[in-house]
Amino acid sequence: MSTYNIVSSDNDSTVVAEYAAEYRTGKDYQSEAQLERDFIKQLGEQGYEYISVTDEAGLVLNLRHQLETLNGYIFTDSEWTQFFANAIANKNEGIVEKTRKIQDDYVQILKRDDNTTKNIILIDKKNIHNNRLQVLNQYETADGIRANRYDVTVLVNGLPLVHIELKRRGVAIREAFNQINRYQRESFWASSGLFEYVQLFVISNGTHTKYYSNTTRFQHIKESGGDTRRSKKKTSNSFEFTSYWADSTNKVIADLLDFTKTFFAKHTILNILTRYCVFTAEELLLVMRPYQIAATERILNRIEVANNYKKYGSLAGGGYIWHTTGSGKTLTSFKTAQLATALTYIDKVLFVVDRKDLDYQTMREYDRFEKGAANSNTSTAVLKRQLEDPTAKIIITTIQKLGVFIGKYKNHAIFAKRIVLIFDECHRSQFGDMHQGITKAFKKYHLFGFTGTPIFSVNAGTGGNPLLRTTKQAFGDKLHTYTIVDAINDGNVLPFRIDYVNTIKMTDNIQDAQVRAIDTEKAMAAPGRITEVVSYVLEHFDQKTKRQSFYSHRGRHVAGFNSIFAASSIPLACQYYAEFKRQLEESGRNLNIATIYSFSVNEEEPDEEFDNDKLDKTSREFLEAAIADYNVTFATNFNTSSDKFQNYYKDLSLRVKNREVDLLIVVNMFLTGFDATTLNTLWVDKNLKHHGLIQAFSRTNRILNSVKTFGNIICFRNLKKATDDAIALFGDREAGGIVLLKTYDDYYNGYDLPAARLPDGQGEAGQDGKHKAGYKELIEQLLAEYPLGIAILGETAKKAFIALFGAILRLRNILTAFDEFAGNEILSELDLQDYQSLYIDIYQEFRPKDDSDKENINDDIIFEIELIKQIEVNIDYILMLVAKYHESNCTDKEILAAIDKAVSSSIELRSKKELIEGFISRVNTSTQVDNDWRKFVEEQKESDLAALITDEKLKEEETRRFIGNSFRDGALKTTGTDIDKILPPVSRFGGGNRQEKKQGVIAKLFGFFEKYLGLV
């Protein structure tokens, strides 16, 4: 390491360099109340002021005093009344508006009694220690849907900005998470709504502690019920997006006392609130994870140290960050760029990508973090203007455009300025002439690289400059590391499940597995083999991509996931595309497939260009034809010419992300730097190794929802050794057990947990080193303890059944991706439907039915409804049974029983039960099932909608347009102005609580929408 690299481990560092957990002898029992007392005592020792405030009046009075102290100004009573009503507790503002007030608009205007104005700051972001920290507990609210009492709240200048819910040791912290969800539905908005200012939540059971923001990734999983201001911010499924705190070595700090000493250290919590949260253009609050904060501060520290010792313009003034693919490098780089531009001696920050599409993609991401914060460019001329513009502080550009600029304007004034250059995915083409050109041109640069897969000597190429082959040679010291093992352990990315499918038949006398896997590309490209591979893919496509699971994605109702097929060469990709098209046409099956490729010098390395002029004539003509197919499918107008091909790439990437493309065939493109949460499967007929292998595999392991539990890799070549080597290189020698999913036998028959490891993201206490029951054992327990036909009596027994069947659903979700599971399900389809019916019955029993349901508090129950949805029957299956009933001359009552059983086992179809039963009652010997069903649904829909409009006095034209758009989008959007446009004027509500009446209308709209969703 550099002589001058002072590691930022002083009191100003947000993430402690390395934390040694304090040794504590265990006690026989610690109650939740004792845990709370110990927590508050620790905060007091760290300088927090404890205040005994348990009601709204005391909270508001304290807030006034704190703001007066912070601003050095005493409000008159009339000034405080209007400031509180307008600037703090505005009745028209909710969580989003109040979050914006803390993150962006923290300076509010006070209109004084003499009609002059004064700036009042709610939080001091320049001098964070001017903010005062207080703690209160057992705050009571009686105004919401029901009375609640909150555990512990941290106030910053009198505003509740951090809320902590505690459970006693041995209780799952998921219960605390569920409890906060309930508070958000029931009471955080009540009275003056001050608890809607909470930015961060902390949940703990003493043993495990996690934190998350007030809008934790709720856009990934929409609320299944009402999407109102009170309920939309959370779903129980977003628990998987909560984070552990850690030190800079990524060692989790889980115990509440240790967490308190680090996370709740004054400078740490204030830095997180004021510097390391990002309120996005989509109105989501992202709180950075500890490794992201540590990397940002290491870079800023390196810049400051290099500035002090005049080390800029050399490797000692820079370094690289090794953060695994999928860990949020773009957010880290954005915050780094944002904070670096705030340094007075830094003129500009250049964020450099190595492909044109990433220029566009990064700009979109930066714009999402803060609209207008960064500047992208379409040409070198635009780049030149931005470099000369003093207001353009953050510039995103490609290495190619920067290289052209350097060659064209050798004596430009920018080269003498203080510039921070941040290279994205610096494992690729920065190792070359352009890298040298940039470092020679800029005189006072700070050079930083971000990579998920660094180049070490073992995976370095043999060509090019021997002094620039490794990441360290090109960028300097490694400043921070967060490997794929860290990310999987933290639950930030998913593990991989790898199938090796042997498609080459070798002679029996070849014993060596390596020799067996070696064959010529000619054999690999044999038409018979390609036919066999395509047949395998199509046969297993629905299974691997889980097409039986349904979820909402970007406002659309979609089934399952999508996939990429990686071919070893352009000719092979062309053969595969043609064969997929042929087999799909023969079978009459409808899958959207597409392909994309471009010229590449080395097809073994996943780098890419956009220059199709270098393609041979056959390859280009084939690509032109494939794009023509795409144009027909999606009504677009692309071709292989330079500009239109780039637009094809962008359009294709968006359609893959939106799950509109089912299978994308590539050679090198899309195997690096492309993120799509809906991708879960990679089919590989290509030799991959080292960083190329990890990068390609990592396209599949982004977190989306509880159905997607791993990335599926299906290899048609023997990549086992290459996989093991890559995981060892970018994880460690023992990483295989973490990065790769366990075996079929482990999940089916059970396995022993390793000692001293946090269980898979659940935060459960006391699980280490124990046996993890397999599917077979759990089914045996289910059949023994809950035989069908015998009622489950009592709340305790029902909760135990929910826990057991939920565990079975989670295992079944994984096992269905294994070919071996077919025929070994143990439960028959009918028995599974019966258990699902029972599960849904209990779900609906425990689920709060309406706001008046005062006693229904079940924070300790976790329902796997997303997993139920993925194995349920659909309306086509029901219509098939109706047709069988019709064929029996409407006499076979067993079919009616089967229909009833199937409908009862489905969350989706229960809302349609009345429709289905109404149709069956009309079925006679002359019925044409499919046609008459469609007519019946249309008639009933029209009748129900007309009645809804009349009964609720809704505006007819606006309501019909609103409902039509909802069915088109697959989601009923009840936020924003659209819903208000269909409601009658205020006076026509006939007095009373307008908000309550509005919620009643929304509830009826949801009932109507669910009844007809998927049918019209």
CB 1006 within 8 A of CB 948: no
Q: Give the tens place of pLDDT for each residue, 668-697.
A: 889 887 888 899 999 999 999 888 898 899
Residue 516 neighbours by CB distance under 10 Å = 15
User: What whole-number distance in Å separates Cα of residue 467 and Cα of residue 457?
Assistant: 11
Helices (H), 372-470: 380-388, 399-408, 433-441
Beta strands in 605-732 (DSSP E): 663-666, 679-685, 711-715
Which 8-state DSSP code applies to residue 660?
Answer: -
Provide DSSP, 564-616.
Answer: EEEESSHHHHHHHHHHHHHHHHHHT----EEEE----S-TTS------GGGS-
Strand 751-752 versus strand 771-772 pairing type: antiparallel
Are the CB atoms for 460 and 469 separated by under 8 Å? yes
Q: What CA–CA distances, in Å, run from 289 to 104, 173, 712?
A: 20, 19, 27
> What is the amino acid identity at position 855?
E
Interacting residues of 531 by C-beta distance below 8 A, sequence separation 6+: 579, 583
Angle 977-983-988 (CA atoms, 0-180°, nearest 5)? 140
For residue 506, the model assigns a pLDDT of 44
634 touches 599 (CB < 8 A) = no
Indicate the pairing of strand 374-375 with strand 394-398: parallel
Of 342, 345, 320, residue with least CA distance to 332:
320
Three-class secondary structure of residue 215 per DSSP: coil
DSSP 653: H
pTM for this model (two decimals): 0.73
Counting as low any pLDDT under 50, the low residues of the chain are 1-11, 217-237, 506-519, 603, 606-607, 733, 756-768, 849-857, 869-872, 989
Please provide the distance, in angstroms rounded to a whole number, between the alpha carbons at the two ends of the chain. 65
Which parts of 219-318 are beta strand (E)? 277-279, 285-287
Q: How far apart are CA 536 and CA 683, in angstroms?
A: 11
* Per-residue confidence (pLDDT) for residue 84, from 0 to 100: 95
Would you tell me the crossing angle of helices 956-969 and 994-1012 to the nearest 10 degrees? 50
**Contacts of residue 412, Cβ cutoff 8 Å, sequence gap at least 6:** 384, 387, 405
Concatenating the DSSP letter of every residue in 877-898 gives: HHHHHHHHHHHTTT--HHHHHH
329-341 helix and 290-308 helix, angle to the nearest 10 degrees: 40
User: HEC states along 521-576?
Assistant: HHHHCCHHHHHHHHHHHHHHHHHHCCCCCEEEECCEEEECCEEEEEECCHHHHHHH
**Cα dihedral 263/269/274/278 (nearest 10):** 30
Residue pair 310/418 in contact (Cβ under 8 Å)? The answer is no
- Distance CA(916)–CA(474), nearest Å, equals 67
Q: Which DSSP symbol is given to 252?
A: B
Burial track 446-465 (b if 16+ CB lie within 10 A, e otherwise): bbbbbbbbbbeeebbeeeee
Token pair belonging to 698: 């990592």
DSSP state of 246: B
Closest CA to 683 of 794, 529, 538: 538
Kindly report the three-state secondary structure assignment for every residue of 51-105.
CCCCCHHHHHHHHHHHHHHHHCCCCCHHHHHHHHHHHHCCCCCCHHHHHHHHHCC
Q: Tell me, what DSSP letter sits at residue 912? A: T
What are the phi and psi torsion angles at 151 (to 5°)?
Answer: -70, -80
Beta strand 285-287 pairing with 277-279: antiparallel
pLDDT of res. 740: 67
Edge-to-edge strands of the sheet including 200-204? Answer: 49-50, 133-141, 148-156, 159-166, 200-204, 209-213
* H or E element, residue 482: strand 478-482
Work out the angle between the directed axes of helices 617-634 and 642-657 (0-180°, nearest 10): 50
Q: How far apart are CA 280 and CA 485, in angstroms?
A: 28
Gap between the Cα atoms of 395 and 524, Å rounded = 45
What's the pLDDT score for residue 501? Answer: 81
> Quick one: tokens of 346?
């830094």
Task: Report the candidate in 368, 286, 283 with the shortest Cα–Cα distance to residue 97.
Answer: 283
Task: Give CA–CA dist 255/25, Å, rounded.
Answer: 13
Rounded Cα gap, residues 343 and 333, in angstroms = 16
What is the DSSP pairing of strand 556-559 with strand 107-111? unpaired
Instruction: Kindly calculate the radius of gyration of the chain based on its CA atoms and give it in whole angstroms.
Output: 30
At 944 the pLDDT is 86
Residues 576 and 134: their CA atoms lie apart, in Å, by 64
How many Å apart are CA 738 and CA 731, to the nearest integer?
9
Angle subtended by helix axes 380-388 and 399-408, to nearest 10: 80
Q: For residue 411, what are its two tokens?
A: 């004596």
Task: Report the relative pairing of strands 556-559 and 550-553 from DSSP bridges.
Answer: antiparallel
Which residue is associated with the tokens 């989601």? 971
Indicate the length of the chain as a whole number: 1016
Q: Which residue has 């990734």 as its token pair? A: 217
- Cα separation of 982 and 16, whole Å? 54
Q: What angle do CA 303, 307, 311 make, to 5 degrees?
A: 90
Q: Give the burial class of 9: count Cβ atoms within 10 A of its Cβ; 0-12 exposed, 13-18 middle, 19 or more buried.
A: middle
Contact 377, 360 (CB under 8 A): no
pLDDT for res 330: 81
Tokens matching residue 286: 């992202």
What the block records as the tokens of 934 is 């469609």
CB 88 within 8 A of CB 63: yes
**Are the beta carbons of 47 and 183 closer than 8 angstroms?**
no
